[in-house]
């Protein structure tokens, strides 16, 4: 069983929270790990991380830890039933997932049926690539990475915070459509109150 929950903003609605809770209970999750390697600003935690931890504890997950794979051993991921890839900078997150070997471990855990949840950047890197981010925000590729292949846990390519970004960049809709036309790749736009549940080949859009 291959199970993912791709969110734009975590458990942002009662519906998304209820789906996450059901997945957690069904899979008897007792230990969860939040990968915090996605926010390079002096290594402070992304603002949503503590909220996600509290939400998971409220869902009766008895142990919730943070793991920064830039500095800590990625093999610790083997100890958890649920991995949560947090938000921040997709380039930064993907770079250190690959450098640490966490990408290979996540693929193993995915194939074996462990739950993997994502928020924003965490949802983006689970797709085939982050080439859309290079197209939109090349200045964020601070390591000048050429290989932008994602974890390939899903065929979906996510753009989170779509409606919210329209208020900051009125051209984002046209830019994404232009990318789709050039590449013939469909981009799944998620607003902050939306998510996608993936259970093997079944996709359920929430919100």
pTM of the model: 0.95
- Token pair, residue 173, equals 């809709």
If you average pLDDT over every residue of the chain, what do you get? 95
**Residues 7-62: pLDDT tens digits?**
999 999 999 999 999 999 999 999 999 999 976 665 556 678 899 999 999 999 99
φ, ψ of residue 65 to 5 degrees: the values are -120, 155
DSSP category for residue 113: T
Closest CA to 69 of 78, 58, 60: 78
Average pLDDT, integer, range 193-204: 95
Query: Average pLDDT in the 81-99 region?
Result: 96
What percentage of the chain exceeds 90 in pLDDT? 91
Domain spans, the chain: 3-206
* Fold annotation for 3-206: Rossmann fold (3.40.50)
Report the interhelical angle of 102-112 vs 90-100 (nearest 10°): 90
Give the ranges where the chain is alpha helix by DSSP (H): 14-26, 47-58, 90-100, 102-112, 121-124, 131-136, 162-166, 172-183
- The structure tokens 């859309």 sit at 132
**Amino acid 201: pLDDT:** 83
Whether 104 shows a pLDDT value over 60: the answer reads yes
């Amino acid at each position: 069983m291959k199970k993912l929950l791709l969110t734009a903003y975590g458990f942002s609605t009662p519906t998304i929270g209820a789906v996450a809770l059901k997945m957690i209970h069904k899979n008897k999750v007792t230990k969860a790990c939040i990968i915090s390697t996605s926010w390079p600003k002096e290594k402070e935690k992304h603002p949503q991380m503590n909220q996600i931890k509290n939400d998971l504890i409220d869902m009766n997950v008895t142990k919730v830890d943070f793991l920064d794979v830039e500095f800590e051993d990625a093999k610790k991921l083997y100890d958890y039933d649920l991995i949560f890839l947090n938000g921040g900078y997709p380039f930064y997150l993907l770079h250190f997932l690959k450098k640490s070997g966490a990408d290979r471990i996540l693929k193993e855990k995915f194939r074996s049926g462990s739950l993997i949840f994502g928020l924003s950047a965490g949802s983006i890197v689970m797709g085939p690539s982050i080439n859309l981010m290079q197209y939109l925000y090349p200045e964020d590729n601070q390591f000048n990475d050429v290989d932008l292949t994602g974890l390939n846990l899903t065929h979906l390519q996510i753009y989170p915070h779509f409606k919210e970004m329209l208020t900051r960049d009125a051209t984002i809709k046209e830019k994404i459509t232009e990318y789709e036309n050039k590449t013939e790749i469909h981009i799944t736009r998620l607003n902050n109150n939306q998510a996608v549940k993936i259970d093997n080949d079944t996709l359920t859009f929430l919100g």
